[in-house]
Amino acid sequence: MGELISEHGRTYAEEAGIQLKDAPQPLYRLLLMAVLLSARIRGSIALATVRALHEAGLRDPRRMAGADWQERVDALGRGGYRRYDERTATQLGDGAELLLERWGGDLRHLREQAAGDVSALRRLLQEIPGIGPAGADIFLREVQRVWPEVAPYLDDKALSGAERLGLPKDPEKLAALAEDTEPAVLAAALVRAALDKEMAQEVQRHAG
């Protein structure tokens, strides 16, 4: 477990340049990351596109909703997100408008609506255009760093990484094995093992 965490325990938010805290803009950027990462596209491209949207000024729902469709397409293209750029540009606009209408552009109000119920939180997230089950899981794996009621959130993808590494497929047991490691960091490392067979084998060799 130590090798896994020390070598691969970096959250995806950190990799995307998001300084995550319980505030509207970083939470919105995390939501954008979840939308982009959940498509069938290379993770490195999705994370580069999170940064490109930020650099284009599309860093909160009001600015995203106010941008025209072509602006969003162009920003996605600059990140390399070309395969799904047109559909995603529409989803980002629709999602921003929904966030503004229902939660005042602040995902903390969505959190309040869920009232500590993680399954309700997961369901509400999926009402946002572009967020399906995979996107909701990505958001929850990362947001548990600042929303402690979510932790430990280890979804099927993280648990498949644990299985590949020969670790227990039980969130509580994994959290115990990880000791003081933040659940968000553990989840990110396990997901990397699920996505990269060679990396998982290397971790096992070092551990063995």
- 179 CB neighbour count, 10 Å cutoff: 10
pLDDT the model gives residue 35: 97
CA distance 14 to 144: 14
CA distance 39 to 114: 26
Return the structure tokens found at 70.
């072509």
**Torsional class of 85: left (φ above 0), alpha (ψ -120 to 50), beta (otherwise):** alpha
Runs of H (alpha helix) within 60-164:
61-66, 69-78, 85-103, 107-114, 118-125, 133-143, 156-164
Among 117, 115, 157, 125, CA closest to 33? 125
pLDDT the model gives residue 9: 82
pLDDT the model gives residue 84: 83
Walk along the chain (208 residues) and give the pLDDT tens digit of each residue.
777 888 888 999 999 999 999 999 999 999 999 999 999 889 999 999 999 999 999 999 999 999 999 999 999 999 999 888 899 999 999 999 999 999 999 999 999 999 999 999 999 999 999 999 999 999 999 999 999 999 999 999 999 999 999 999 988 889 888 888 999 999 999 999 999 998 888 888 887 6
